[in-house]
Amino acid sequence: MRGFTRWGWLAGGVAVAGLCLLAGLLVANFVGGETKIERRIERLHALEDPRFFHELGVLLGPPFLPGTRVRALLNGDEIFPPMLAAIRSAQVSITFETYIYWSGDIGSEFANALAERARQGVKVHVLLDWMGSLKMDDSLVQLMTQAGVQVQRFHPPHWSNWGRMNNRTHRKLLVVDGRVGFTGGVGVAPQWTGHAQDPDHWRDTHFEIEGPVVAQMQSVFIDNWIKVTGLVLHGPDYFPVLQAAGPAQAQMFSSSPSGGSESMQLMYLLTVTAASRSIDLSAAYFVPDDLTLKALRDALKRGVRLRIVVPGKHIDSDTVRMASRATWGPLLQAGATIAEYGPTMYHSKLMIVDGLLTSVGSTNFDNRSFRLNDEATLNIVDSAFASAQTATFEADLALAHRVSYAEWQARPARERFIEWLASLLGTQL
């Protein structure tokens, strides 16, 4: 021990400090900094009670606004043409935030459309998640930036972001001239093109929105733009006066680990708790925690019909599928319908409650969406719109295999073990 000099002690101290720093970064990235919701939510109002929507607006915000028109777009052949047409018609501003942006024909089409508008003097702002855009060619970014498009990456690797590297922006938002908005599940990649005709082309839904709620969509984009650039976008180019465009009430709901990471889960828990008759859930990634499972089971005990469509064998993450299946037992035993979509990857994210409230956007039913990602969900109150979405949900359900409780129980031991291993990663899925 006499040979262990003060330099040895110093080196040892540096090593210990490094390990402590690494542990701290892991905690910051994978545990989250806010206290989790740990107790069941008391049911105070039925969803049809106007007080429910009032409280959802004042408790979690923003308020529901009347005068909204929403158009559902199914799969790439219906989704991308209206988005590109809106971009090409822009006169003053375009704000676009997305998680996935990869190379391919559709990526080039978007980049060229955005660049063309920038060359004509339109203010174009593009916010890409760093991880979600790893498969995007630098040439597409160069094309846009050289044309005058302001392109930013969300949380790229940098010493200042080390504690937030696991916080991704999963939002999908496009707002043109502050007047028309798009949100839903699609990214910019070849998988979202076509009409879900085969396993290489995914099933998804996006939505076109007009009316006063578009200003709320714009503010959600600007919130992250400020975080990344420090610049505030404001004025009539981004926030024009908006007139009523349709019959629905709507609210653009958002969440972020940097402020209110539990608000998205709380919104869903309050809604499930308020349900009286039915919950239909399209869930690309369904890995509910214990609190969410309890809320869903309590709804079933109240006589609420619960139907869930999830991906089947065609899925981009087998780990998610295994972790999801590990949670199904109590729901199936309580009478829930859980069905695996057959034809292709099922990426739709939608919840319809009591034939009145429809929630659409980027949010998945998992811990990553509820606690780790920046998410955005549009809540729409309109029975006619909910009825149309229910018809689409039932068309998807008809193409899905309904898993019975007996079938779930009969899983081989090896499959159960793999699911258990996958469930250990549930806080990151």
Phi, psi for 48 (deg, rounded to 5): -75, -10
From 125, 129, 155, 170, active-site residue: 170
- Residue 54 annotated to the active site: no
Q: Amino acid identity, residue 60?
A: L
Determine whether 301 is an active site residue. no
Q: For residues 11 and 5, what is the distance between their CA atoms, to the nearest angstrom?
A: 10
Cα–Cα distance measured from residue 373 to residue 184, given in angstroms and rounded to the nearest whole number: 15
Residues 352 and 355: their CA atoms lie apart, in Å, by 6
In the set 129, 177, 280, 374, the catalytic residue is 177
Angle at 129 between CA 128 and CA 133, to 5 degrees: 80
For the chain, the C-alpha Rg in angstroms (whole number) is: 23
198 is known as an active-site residue: no
DSSP class of residue 37 equals: P
Please tell me which residue in 349, 366, 374, 396 is annotated as part of the active site.
349
Query: How far is C-alpha 199 from the chain's CA centre?
Result: 22
Residue 289 phi, psi (nearest 5)? -85, 180
Number of H helices, E strands in the chain: 14, 17
| CA neighbor of 36 nearest in space, from 362, 264, 272 | 264
Q: Which of 125, 155, 172, 227 is catalytic?
A: 172
Residue 354 falls in the annotated catalytic set: yes
Among the options 347, 366, 382, 396, which is catalytic? 347
Q: Which residues lie below 8 Å from residue 414, measured CB to CB, with a gap of 6+?
A: none
CA distance 312 to 341: 5
The helix-helix angle for 318-325 and 413-423 (nearest 10°) equals 100
Return the SS3 of 417.
helix
Nearest to 348 by CA among 206, 215, 241, 177: 206
Count of CB atoms within 10 A of residue 9's CB? 10
**Residue 197 is encoded by which pair of tokens?**
């005709």
Asked about 206 being catalytic, the answer comes back as: no
Is residue 349 among the annotated active site residues? yes
User: Which is catalytic among the residues 354, 366, 382, 396?
Assistant: 354
Angstrom distance (rounded) from CA 19 to CA 169: 28
Rounded CA separation 346/76 (Å): 13
Alpha-carbon dihedral 222, 224, 228, 230, rounded to 10 degrees: 40
Q: Which residues are identified as catalytic?
A: 170, 172, 177, 347, 349, 354
